Amino acid sequence: MLDEISYQSHQNWLERNYPSQDERIALITSWQEQKKIPTINYFLHLRLFNLALPIIKPQDSWLTVGDGYGFDAHFLKEQGCKVTASDISTTFLELSQNAGLIENYSAENAEKLSFADNTFDFVFCKEAFHHFPKPFVAVYEMLRVAKKGIILIEPQDPISRMPLLLALRNILDNIQTNLLEKIWKNRYSFEPVGNYVFKLSERECEKIAMGLFLPAIAFKGIQNNYYQKDISNVPATKKSKVFQKMNFKIFRDTLLARLGILPYQILSAIIFKQMPDQATIKKLKEAQYRFYVLPPNPYLQSNS
């Protein structure tokens, strides 16, 4: 089965890229150092972590999915949450636990989670959805083990937010079905590890929530795809010209997205299993999330 090949490939990816224990420990140590004097790499990760802040409450229980290094769980732990980090490979999770970054971890296939229904308050999945061979199976699994909801932070499907791009695709597909690929080079994207790169859309999340009769969803887009290996360790300070240049790109591209000229690169999608309280809704709106109360199923209501 192709999905089994994908699982094995992902499970071995960290071992292949960091074959020695010294290299693995050095990566964990590097992350700890980057937090002290934030680098561009840490700054970009922190922008993604912060997307969860409006729904974080101390003492809530969280599961992180696809959290290869345990850094997602570490952020949530710092907010006072009870966190279990999970990944298909525990190569780094044991080291992160030894370093005090995380407390609990579990080897988990996101598409076959071992936990019982409603085990955790929330599930956090950052930049992992697009690695899964059957990502929507994983979403249903996350929803199954979550009591209050899940948050997905992923590259956004641009065509879902750009009507002109969709219109262009329709026109070109009517002429020749592969014509758009000459313009949109990564229309069909694959990663070196072997999987097709899925991208997230608001509409797909909405359909999942409606199909399960869930009460609410929330969305926020940001511009954040500015990682370059050669500048990743540059300090994220006002004195850094490299950092200033990147911040200008973020400002520019955010403005263009607000004007509808560009899509947001990253989508944060929160699917709620329970209606959040008013304080949480207020925090979401203050953080510029769009919060949607979903209509109940009228046929189930009438039959109840």
What are the residue boundaries of the structural domains of the chain, listed by start?
2-293
The confidence score (pLDDT) of residue 11 equals 77
| Architecture of the structural domain at 2-293 | 3-Layer(aba) Sandwich (3.40)
How high does pLDDT run on average in the chain? 91
pLDDT per residue as tens digits for the range 228-286: 889 999 999 989 999 999 999 999 999 999 988 889 999 999 999 999 999 999 999 99
Please list, in sequence order, all residues whose beta carbon lies within 8 angstroms of the beta carbon of residue 233, skipping any fewer than 6 positions away: 34, 39, 40, 41
State yes or no: pLDDT of 303 exceeds 70.
no
Task: Provide the β-strand partners of residue 154.
Answer: 267
Q: What percent of the chain has pLDDT over 70?
A: 94
What pTM was estimated for this model as a whole? 0.92
The confidence score (pLDDT) of residue 163 equals 67
For range 196-207, the mean pLDDT: 92
Higher local confidence (pLDDT), 164 or 208? 208
Q: Which of 13-22, 90-99, 161-170 has the lowest mean pLDDT?
A: 161-170
| Segments of the chain assigned E as strands | 61-65, 82-87, 104-107, 120-126, 146-155, 216-222, 266-272, 290-293
The confidence score (pLDDT) of residue 158 equals 81
Which of 129, 124, 266, 113 shows the shortest CA–CA distance to 196?
Answer: 129
Helix (H, G, I), strand (E, B) or coil at 196: strand
For range 76-91, the mean pLDDT: 96
Strand order in the sheet with 146-155: 104-107, 82-87, 61-65, 120-126, 146-155, 266-272, 216-222, 290-293
State yes or no: pLDDT of 182 exceeds 90.
no
Which of 189, 190, 153, 170 shows the shortest CA–CA distance to 267?
Answer: 153
Per-residue pLDDT band for 304 (boundaries 50, 70, 90) equals: very low
For range 44-59, the mean pLDDT: 96
